[in-house]
Amino acid sequence: MHAKHSAPAAPGASQYHEVMVPNYAPADFVPLKGAGARVWTAEGDELVDFGGGIAVNSLGHCHPALIEALSEQAHKLWHVSNIVTNAPALHLARTLCERTFAERVFFCNSGAEANEAALKLARRRASIKHGTGKRTILSFRNSFHGRTLFTVSVGGQPKYTEHFGPLPEGIEHLPYNDIAALDKAVTDETCAIIAEPIQGEGGVIPGNVDFLKALRAACDRVDATLIFDEVQSGVGRTGALYGYMRAGVVPDVLTTAKGLGGGFPIGAMLTKREWAEYLPAGTHGTTFGGNPLGCAVAQRVIELVSAPDFLHGVETRGQAMRQELARIGDAYGVFREVRGMGLLLGGVVSDAWAGRAGDIVKAGHAEGVWCLVAGPEVVRFAPPLNVTEQEMGDGLARLERAVQRLVSAGS
Ligand X SMILES: Cc1ncc(COP(=O)(O)O)c(C=O)c1O
Nearest to 197 by CA among 154, 256, 151: 256
CA dist 122 and 226 (Å) reads 9
108 interacts with ligand X by CB under 6 A: no
Identify any residues that bridge with 33 across adjacent strands, giving them in sequence order.
Answer: 40
- Please say which residue, 54 or 320, places its beta carbon nearer to ligand X: 54
* Contact predicate 235/202, CB 8 Å: no
**Part in contact with ligand X (CB under 6 A); list of ranges 98-106, 139-147, 269-277, 326-334:** 139-147
CA angle, 202 as apex, 198 and 207 as ends, to 5°? Answer: 25
CA–CA distance, 334 with 115 (Å, rounded to integer): 35
CB of 76 to ligand X, least distance (A): 26
- Does residue 156 bind ligand X (CB under 6 A)? no
Q: Does 318 bind ligand X (CB under 6 A)?
A: no
The span of 61-69, 194-202, 282-290, 394-402 binding ligand X (CB under 6 A) equals 194-202
Which among 93-101, 108-116, 218-226, 299-307 is the span making contact with ligand X, rule CB under 6 A?
Answer: 108-116
DSSP 353: G
CB of 117 to ligand X, least distance (A): 12
Asked if 186 contacts 224 with a C-beta cutoff of 8 angstroms, the reply is yes
C-beta of 145 vs 398, nearer to ligand X: 145
Measure the CA angle with vertex 387, ends 386 and 391; round to 5°.
Answer: 160
Q: Does 110 bind ligand X (CB under 6 A)?
A: yes
From the CB of 298, what's the least distance to ligand X, in Å?
A: 14
* Non-local CB neighbours of 406 within 8 Å, separated by 6+ positions: 334, 359, 360, 363
200 near ligand X, rule: CB under 6 A: yes
The least CB distance from residue 290 to ligand X, in Å, is 16
Any bridge partners for residue 369, and if so which? 48
Q: Pick the closer one to ligand X by CB: 156 or 384.
A: 156
Q: For the window 27-56, what string marks contact with ligand X as x by the rule CB under 6 A? A: ---------------------------x--
Assess 112 for contact with ligand X (CB under 6 A).
yes
Angle in degrees, 0-180, between the axes of helices 64-74 and 292-305, rounded to the nearest 10:
150
Q: How far is CA 359 from CA 50, 122, 281, 343, 362, in A?
A: 16, 41, 50, 22, 5
Q: If binding is defined by CB under 6 A, does position 144 make contact with ligand X?
A: yes
Q: CB of residue 146 vs ligand X: minimum separation in angstroms?
A: 4
Selected range binding ligand X among 22-30, 105-113, 268-276, 304-312, rule: CB under 6 A: 105-113
Q: Is 116 in the site for ligand X (CB under 6 A)?
A: no
d(CA 341, CA 237): 8
Q: Is 201 in the site for ligand X (CB under 6 A)?
A: yes
Q: What is the dihedral of CA 243, 180, 114, 274, to 10 degrees?
A: 90
Q: Least distance in Å: CB of 73 to ligand X? A: 21
Q: How far is the CB of 204 from ligand X (least distance, A)?
A: 11
Q: Per rule CB under 6 A, is residue 145 in the interface with ligand X?
A: yes
Using CB under 6 A as the binding rule, whether residue 197 contacts ligand X is answered as no
State the sign of the Cα–Cα–Cα–Cα dihedral 147, 113, 290, 372.
Answer: positive
Residue nearest to ligand X (CB): 111
The sheet carrying 378-381 orders its strands as 335-341, 344-349, 378-381, 372-373
Which residues fall within 8 angstroms of residue 103, CB to CB, at 6 or more apart?
A: 97, 271, 272, 273, 276
Which member of 34, 36, 60, 146 binds ligand X (CB under 6 A)?
146
Nearest to 106 by CA among 311, 97, 342: 97
196 binds ligand X (CB under 6 A): yes
Residues 234-293 that bind ligand X (CB under 6 A): 257
- x-or-dash pattern for ligand X, window 204-233, by CB under 6 A? -------------------------x-xx-
- The counts of H helices and E strands in the chain are 14, 17
Residues 350-389 that bind ligand X (CB under 6 A): none
Smallest separation (angstroms) from ligand X to the CB of 365: 20
Q: Which stretch binds ligand X (CB under 6 A): 138-146, 207-215, 292-300, 359-367?
A: 138-146
User: Which positions ≥6 away from 400 have C-beta within 8 Å?
Assistant: 328, 331, 332
Q: By the criterion CB under 6 A, which residues form the site for ligand X?
A: 54, 110-112, 115, 144-146, 196, 200-201, 229, 231-232, 257
